Amino acid sequence: MLDIHQILVMRDNYVYLLRDPATGATAVVDPAAAEPVLAALARTGWKLSHILNTHHHWDHVDGNLALKQATGCKVYGAARDRGDIPGLDVALGEGDVVALGAMTALVMAVPGHTQGHLAYWFKADRALFCGDTLFAMGCGRLLGGTAEQMWNSLGCIRDLPDETLIYCAHEYTEANGRFALTLEPDNPALVERMARVRALRRDGRPTVPSSLLEERATNPFLRPDSAEIQATLGLRGAEPMRVFAETRRRKDAF
């Protein structure tokens, strides 16, 4: 099993350290800043070997070069983002496999937030590192991709096993849940989840990771077939893609 260490940076960004205990190989996912990662490495004694970037936005890659210089690690990211990801060594695409010691991650192309967005699926651990594609009760804005691309990407994630843990890159859950309640206020799973989320945030505790089973039950971006959401949007019987696109449009204005 992977050792996973979650680091909060810049108020609401999550950076993840992943270590294969058998070999000591260690990756960092989306290092927004180098200093907190270096401090965590010093505390744990872990030796960084990989940087796994999900996409090229600055709040996911700004620590790349300093970490690479300090540790000699290799940077992995989308071939499509070549030139935009600092220090990129290994260019990846759909279906590639990244070895982290004895552990492996399947690379999933999940465009929508950006054209080159990737997710890393550690099947043995049921752990998905999905950057800004899927959030707890939300999904990323369309900042380069299309609604159709994002819906298709979310569909690929939605098909993963129920027990998959969603390690997204931001603590946006409470705000996402407030929006979700405007669309589906009579969803008992959503109401109960929001009570838990509010309690966690009052205590300064993270709401991430979440399970995919929980996301399917409460995340409006995975629920375009919900009769209540369709009715709220005035789209009864509409195709899922159309319901998703309208949900994303309303969230942008929320």
Which amino acids are annotated as binding site for Zn(2+), given as ranges?
A: 55, 57, 59-60, 113, 132, 170
Taking alpha carbons only, the member of 56, 12, 77, 9 closest to residue 37 is: 9
Cα–Cα distance between 249 and 12 in angstroms, integer?
Answer: 23
Distances (CA, A) of 31 to 64, 72, 137: 7, 15, 23
Among the options 5, 50, 56, 113, which is catalytic?
A: 113
- Measured in degrees and rounded to the nearest 5, phi and psi for residue 242 equal -65, -40
**Catalytic residue among 5, 50, 56, 60, which?**
60
- Determine whether 55 is an active site residue: yes
Catalytic annotation on 20?
A: no
Binding residues: 55, 57, 59-60, 113, 132, 170
Instruction: Based on the residue annotation, tell me whether 59 is a catalytic residue of this protein.
Output: yes
* Catalytic pick among 50, 55, 56, 117: 55
Query: Exactly one of 59, 81, 89, 203 is catalytic; which is it?
Result: 59
CA distance 200 to 173: 11
| Single-letter code of the amino acid located at 187 | N
Catalytic residue among 5, 56, 117, 170: 170
Question: Distance between CA atoms of 33 and 190, rounded to whole angstroms?
Answer: 33
* Catalytic residue flag (residue 170): yes
Active site residue 113: yes
Q: Report, as residue numbers or ranges, the catalytic residues.
A: 55, 57, 59-60, 113, 132, 170
